[in-house]
Structure formats: structure tokens, C-alpha cells
Amino acid sequence: MSGPVGGTDYTLREITIPPGRSTGWHFHDGPLYGVVRRGTLSHFDSSCALDGVYGAGAPIREPAGPGNVHTGRDLGDTPVVLDVLYVLPHGSPFSEDAPNPGCAFQ
């Protein structure tokens, strides 16, 4: 489900992260809002610090911009399923890849 409004794209997506996997290091050109539907998401910032652990039913918000590089990891044994709303400048990708900032993990 998606659509533009006044130069902004609003897109609702379901994202699944398998056990032991991650989203990879990235940032968004606009804010992201989500809810964990299943599993537990471990969220890390560019200092390699764990900045949040989100279980089923928990809301999550990720701010926009290259100063907000992060990764989400599924450290559990069940898939993490997220419902995510992207609020992006029209035509922007869902995320922009970023290099690993020096963390011992991907």
C-alpha cells in the first residue's frame, strides 16, 4: 500500500528478518514508523551500541538522514516480522546502504 501526497511518499510494508540475520547498515531519507508483529528486534546505532530491543507489539521509530545510520538484527530463533510505514521524499528509496561503521558484527 503506497501513495504520494504533496511531494511525500507514504508506503506501508511488511518486513521479515530471519533468525540470525540483519537489515544491514543503512539510513532513511525520511522517518520510519513501525510495529513489531512477531519476534524481537535488536536495534544498533552507528557507535555499535544497542539502542533498543523491541518485542511483539512494540512501536519503533527511526529518524531520517545519514547521521542516523543503524541496523536491525534478529538475535532470536524466530523470524522478526515488522509492519513499517515509510514517510519519504517522493521517489526516494526505502533505505540507503551505509558501510559497517566498524562494528564486530554486520
Which domains are present in the chain? 17-94 (2.60.120.10)
Q: Are 49 and 88 in contact (CB under 8 A)?
A: no
- The reported pLDDT for the residue numbered 106 is 81
Which residues lie across from 37 on neighbouring strands? none
CA distance 48 to 80: 20
CA distance 9 to 21: 28
CA distance 55 to 101: 26
Q: Could you list the pLDDT tens digit for every one of the 106 residues in the chain?
A: 666 788 999 999 999 999 999 999 999 999 999 999 999 999 999 999 999 999 999 999 999 999 999 999 999 999 999 999 999 999 999 999 999 999 998 8
Q: Cβ contacts of residue 57 below 8 Å, gap of 6+?
A: 35, 36
